Amino acid sequence: MEEIKFDIEGKNYGCPTFINIENYVKVYKIKDVFSDDYFAAKFMNILTGAPIEDLLNADWQKIKWLSNYCMSLFPTEKQPFIDKFEIDGKWYGFIPSWRKLSFAEYVDLDTLITKKNPEILDFIHIITAIMYRPIIGDHTKPNFEIEKYNQESLHQRAELFKKKLNINVYVGAQFFFIKFAKKYSERTQPYLTMTLMQKIKLYWRNRKMMMLLLKNDSDGTLSLTELLPMILQNMKPSSKKAWWKF
């Protein structure tokens, strides 16, 4: 996708070709603060660096068209899962096996992903850096290996992702967390009324039981198809909207 360029007050600016994590968080935090017209100017200020004063004084049709284009870059709820991607010539891959999750990974993900919805925004880049790590060896292999979890390299990778990673990667990865809940409980009424974030938290809160079942799915113990409806029946559905919607 080519960068769309425009000029205001004799200065040239460019719309991004994708929405990175940093700008996604900034935009979400101000989306309910301003009126529609002022939001469009602030929105374009965040994404392009053009001064708000110049944007407010520019042709409104031009700004409206540009803001609508930039808004189209934001992810949808049907964002596909991406298992690997490249940044600056280096390949990163998603955690290949939840059954081999280390204690450090478990604790850090558990701490971050269970935060309240508004607060979790500030940790998206860190969560993504835990889930995606450098691929070791040939990235074209379907069963690729990733670097062992290292908290020392985590924050450097998180800052890189904040600036250079498409937010679509993070949103797509969220669907991985609800794969089992969706597969086995899609006909359960509480599930149908849940937001995506609630489904993710449902899976994450009960991941220890699910992981045990995945390892011993035919040993006579309670199966996933029996377990998930029981969990869902005991949860009260919420009418809150998914936190990333605009």
User: What is the rounded CA–CA span in Å between residue 155 and residue 140?
Assistant: 26
Buried b (16+ CB within 10 A) or exposed e, 49-73: ebeeebbeebeeeebeebbeebeeb
- Does the pLDDT of residue 244 top 50, yes or no? no
Residue 84 parent element (H or E): strand 84-87
pLDDT in tens, 141-199: 888 999 999 988 999 999 999 999 999 999 888 766 655 445 544 544 555 555 555 65
Q: In the prediction, which pLDDT does 89 show?
A: 96
Report the alpha-carbon distance of residue 156 to residue 246 in Å, rounded. Answer: 30
> Which domain-ending residue is among 131, 149, 175?
175
Tell me, what DSSP letter sits at residue 122? G
Which residues are paired to 133 by β-bridges? 93
In sequence order, what are the residues at sequence separation of 6 or more whose Cβ sits closer than 8 angstroms to the Cβ of residue 84?
A: 91, 92, 93, 94, 132, 135, 139, 144
Domain membership flag for residue 215: yes
Number of domains in the chain: 3
Tell whether 152 and 195 lie within a shared domain: no
Residues 91 and 169 in one domain: yes
| pLDDT-wise least confident of 16-25, 96-105, 170-179 | 170-179
Residue ranges in the chain assigned as alpha helix (H): 21-30, 36-48, 52-57, 60-71, 103-113, 117-120, 124-131, 151-164, 167-177, 179-185, 189-192, 196-205, 207-215, 224-233
Cβ neighbour number for residue 85 with a 10 Å cutoff: 18
Note if the pTM is more than 0.85. Answer: no
Same domain for 110 and 169? Answer: yes
Q: Express each pLDDT in 50-61 by its tens digit.
A: 999 999 999 989
Q: What is the pLDDT of residue 147?
A: 94
Looking at residue 202, what is its pLDDT? 59
Domain for residue 160, yes or no? yes
Question: In this structure, are 190 and 140 located in the same domain?
Answer: no
Same domain, 101 and 153: yes
Looking at residue 183, its pLDDT comes to 54
Give residue 216's pLDDT.
44
Q: Which class for 177: exposed (0-12), middle (13-18), buried (19 or more C-beta within 10 A)?
A: buried
Question: Does residue 63 sit in the same domain as residue 35?
Answer: yes
Residue 152: inside a domain, yes or no?
yes
Roughly how many angstroms between the first and final C-alpha of the chain, as a whole number? Answer: 23
Give the residue numbers spanning the domain of 9: 5-71
Residue 96 lies in a domain: yes
- Give the Cα separation of 193 and 89 in Å (integer): 42
Please check whether residue 238 lies inside any domain of the structure: no
Residues 55 and 45: their CA atoms lie apart, in Å, by: 8
Residue of 173, 89, 76 lying closest to 131 (CA atoms): 173
The pLDDT of residue 118: 79
Same domain for 89 and 150?
yes
CA 85 to chain centre: 14
CB 237 within 8 A of CB 190: yes
Does position 241 have pLDDT exceeding 70, yes or no?
Answer: no
Q: What's the confidence (pLDDT) of residue 181? A: 47
